[in-house]
Structure 1
Amino acid sequence: MEIDFSIGNIPAKLRRGWFWGGMKLVTPSESLWLQHPLQPSTHWSFRLTRSWQRTVAGHRVRVEKTRPLLGAGIRSQGYRVFVDGELVADVDGM
Structure 2
Amino acid sequence: MDIDFLIGNISAKLVRGWFLGGMKLVTPSESIWLQHPLQPSTHFSFRLKRCWQRGISGHQVRVEKARPLMAAGVRSQSYSVFVDGKLVASDQGL
Q: How does 1:1-94 map to 2 (within 5 A)?
A: 1-94=1-94
Partners of 2:76 and 2:17 in 1: how far apart?
Answer: 14
By how many angstroms is 1:67 displaced?
0.4
> Percent identity among equivalent residues?
74
2:6 counterpart SS class: strand
By how many angstroms is 1:57 displaced?
0.1
- CA RMSD in angstroms comes to 0.4
Partners of 1:46 and 1:74 in 2: how far apart?
Answer: 15
Partners of 1:87 and 1:24 in 2: how far apart?
Answer: 18
By how many angstroms is 1:84 displaced?
0.2
Runs (5+) with no aligned partner, structure 2: none
Aligned residues between the structures: 94
Runs (5+) with no aligned partner, structure 1: none
> Which stretches of structure 1, 4 residues or longer, exceed 2 Å deviation after superposition?
none
Please give the TM-score of this superposition, normalised by the length of structure 2: 0.99
1:73 counterpart SS class: helix
